[in-house]
Amino acid sequence: MTNPAILPSRNTDYGFFGTLTTCPERDRRTSDVWILASRLIAQAINATSEEEMIGIRDFLDSRSGRHFADEVVGALQCGAPDCEAAITAAIAKWQDWRITRATERTDGIPAGLPYLTGWVQHFAVTAAMEEQH
Protein backbone atom coordinates (compact mmCIF):
# COMPACT_ATOMS: atom_id res chain seq x y z
CA MET A 1 0.00 0.00 0.00
CA THR A 2 1.36 3.39 -0.94
CA ASN A 3 0.67 6.58 0.90
CA PRO A 4 -1.08 9.14 -1.28
CA ALA A 5 0.56 12.54 -1.62
CA ILE A 6 -0.19 15.24 0.92
CA LEU A 7 -1.67 18.21 -0.88
CA PRO A 8 -0.71 21.81 -0.05
CA SER A 9 -3.23 24.29 1.29
CA ARG A 10 -5.18 26.39 -1.17
CA ASN A 11 -6.31 28.73 1.62
CA THR A 12 -3.22 29.86 3.51
CA ASP A 13 -4.91 33.00 4.87
CA TYR A 14 -7.76 31.21 6.66
CA GLY A 15 -8.79 27.70 7.61
CA PHE A 16 -6.32 25.47 9.44
CA PHE A 17 -3.24 27.02 7.84
CA GLY A 18 -4.16 30.61 8.65
CA THR A 19 -5.11 29.79 12.22
CA LEU A 20 -1.87 27.92 12.92
CA THR A 21 0.19 30.69 11.32
CA THR A 22 -0.92 33.05 14.10
CA CYS A 23 -0.26 30.53 16.90
CA PRO A 24 2.90 31.45 18.86
CA GLU A 25 2.91 28.06 20.64
CA ARG A 26 3.54 26.02 17.49
CA ASP A 27 6.90 24.27 17.49
CA ARG A 28 7.49 24.24 13.72
CA ARG A 29 6.69 26.18 10.56
CA THR A 30 3.04 26.25 9.53
CA SER A 31 3.75 24.32 6.32
CA ASP A 32 5.29 21.54 8.43
CA VAL A 33 2.29 21.56 10.79
CA TRP A 34 0.02 21.28 7.73
CA ILE A 35 1.91 18.21 6.49
CA LEU A 36 1.84 16.67 9.96
CA ALA A 37 -1.90 17.30 10.39
CA SER A 38 -2.66 15.88 6.93
CA ARG A 39 -0.60 12.76 7.64
CA LEU A 40 -2.11 12.19 11.10
CA ILE A 41 -5.67 12.71 9.83
CA ALA A 42 -5.02 10.32 6.94
CA GLN A 43 -3.80 7.70 9.41
CA ALA A 44 -6.74 8.27 11.76
CA ILE A 45 -9.39 7.83 9.06
CA ASN A 46 -7.45 5.22 7.05
CA ALA A 47 -7.24 7.45 3.97
CA THR A 48 -5.56 5.59 1.11
CA SER A 49 -6.71 7.41 -2.02
CA GLU A 50 -6.03 10.68 -3.76
CA GLU A 51 -9.73 11.53 -3.39
CA GLU A 52 -9.51 11.16 0.39
CA MET A 53 -6.39 13.35 0.43
CA ILE A 54 -8.34 15.99 -1.49
CA GLY A 55 -11.03 15.68 1.17
CA ILE A 56 -8.43 16.21 3.91
CA ARG A 57 -7.01 19.27 2.14
CA ASP A 58 -10.44 20.77 1.52
CA PHE A 59 -11.53 20.01 5.11
CA LEU A 60 -8.44 21.73 6.53
CA ASP A 61 -8.96 24.70 4.17
CA SER A 62 -12.60 25.11 5.25
CA ARG A 63 -14.37 26.75 8.17
CA SER A 64 -14.43 23.30 9.77
CA GLY A 65 -10.65 23.19 9.37
CA ARG A 66 -10.40 26.48 11.23
CA HIS A 67 -12.46 24.98 14.07
CA PHE A 68 -10.19 21.92 14.05
CA ALA A 69 -7.18 24.28 14.22
CA ASP A 70 -8.81 26.04 17.19
CA GLU A 71 -8.77 22.65 18.98
CA VAL A 72 -5.08 22.21 18.13
CA VAL A 73 -4.21 25.71 19.36
CA GLY A 74 -6.26 25.14 22.51
CA ALA A 75 -4.35 21.92 23.22
CA LEU A 76 -1.04 23.76 22.76
CA GLN A 77 -2.17 26.55 25.07
CA CYS A 78 -3.26 23.98 27.68
CA GLY A 79 0.10 22.27 27.80
CA ALA A 80 0.39 19.85 24.88
CA PRO A 81 4.17 19.42 24.49
CA ASP A 82 4.22 19.91 20.71
CA CYS A 83 2.09 20.17 17.58
CA GLU A 84 2.01 16.41 17.05
CA ALA A 85 0.52 15.84 20.51
CA ALA A 86 -1.95 18.70 20.02
CA ILE A 87 -3.09 17.43 16.61
CA THR A 88 -3.40 13.88 17.95
CA ALA A 89 -5.56 15.16 20.83
CA ALA A 90 -7.77 17.14 18.43
CA ILE A 91 -8.17 14.11 16.16
CA ALA A 92 -9.18 11.92 19.10
CA LYS A 93 -11.75 14.50 20.22
CA TRP A 94 -13.24 14.90 16.73
CA GLN A 95 -13.34 11.13 16.17
CA ASP A 96 -15.17 10.68 19.49
CA TRP A 97 -17.94 13.05 18.34
CA ARG A 98 -20.60 11.69 15.98
CA ILE A 99 -22.39 13.25 13.02
CA THR A 100 -25.90 14.18 14.15
CA ARG A 101 -29.18 13.72 12.33
CA ALA A 102 -29.33 17.50 11.90
CA THR A 103 -25.97 17.49 10.12
CA GLU A 104 -27.15 14.57 8.01
CA ARG A 105 -30.19 16.63 6.94
CA THR A 106 -28.26 19.82 6.20
CA ASP A 107 -25.00 18.45 4.77
CA GLY A 108 -25.82 14.89 3.70
CA ILE A 109 -23.21 13.24 5.93
CA PRO A 110 -24.57 9.96 7.35
CA ALA A 111 -25.53 10.29 11.02
CA GLY A 112 -23.42 8.28 13.42
CA LEU A 113 -20.12 8.57 11.55
CA PRO A 114 -17.14 9.85 13.52
CA TYR A 115 -17.17 13.63 13.08
CA LEU A 116 -13.73 14.00 11.49
CA THR A 117 -14.23 11.04 9.16
CA GLY A 118 -17.63 12.36 8.12
CA TRP A 119 -16.39 15.83 7.28
CA VAL A 120 -13.36 14.61 5.35
CA GLN A 121 -15.60 12.27 3.34
CA HIS A 122 -18.05 15.13 2.76
CA PHE A 123 -15.29 17.28 1.26
CA ALA A 124 -13.96 14.37 -0.82
CA VAL A 125 -17.43 13.72 -2.29
CA THR A 126 -18.03 17.44 -2.87
CA ALA A 127 -14.72 17.76 -4.74
CA ALA A 128 -15.49 14.69 -6.87
CA MET A 129 -18.93 16.10 -7.76
CA GLU A 130 -17.43 19.47 -8.72
CA GLU A 131 -14.84 17.73 -10.88
CA GLN A 132 -17.60 16.04 -12.89
CA HIS A 133 -19.14 19.37 -13.87
The residue segments making up the domain with residue 43 are 15-131
- Do the domain assignments include residue 1? no
Task: With respect to residue 99, please indicate whether it lies within any of the assigned structural domains.
Answer: yes
**Could you give the number of structural domains in the chain?**
1
Question: For the segment 63-85, what is each residue's pLDDT rounded down to a tens digit?
Answer: 999 999 999 999 999 999 999 99
Q: Model pTM greater than 0.85?
A: yes
Q: Does 19 map to a domain?
A: yes
Domain presence at residue 10: no
What pLDDT does 71 receive? Answer: 98
Contacts of 9 (CB under 8 A, 6+ apart): 15, 16, 17, 34, 57, 60, 61
Residue 46 within a domain: yes
What would the pLDDT profile of 16-66 be if each residue is shown by its tens digit? Answer: 999 999 999 999 999 999 999 999 999 999 999 999 999 999 999 999 999
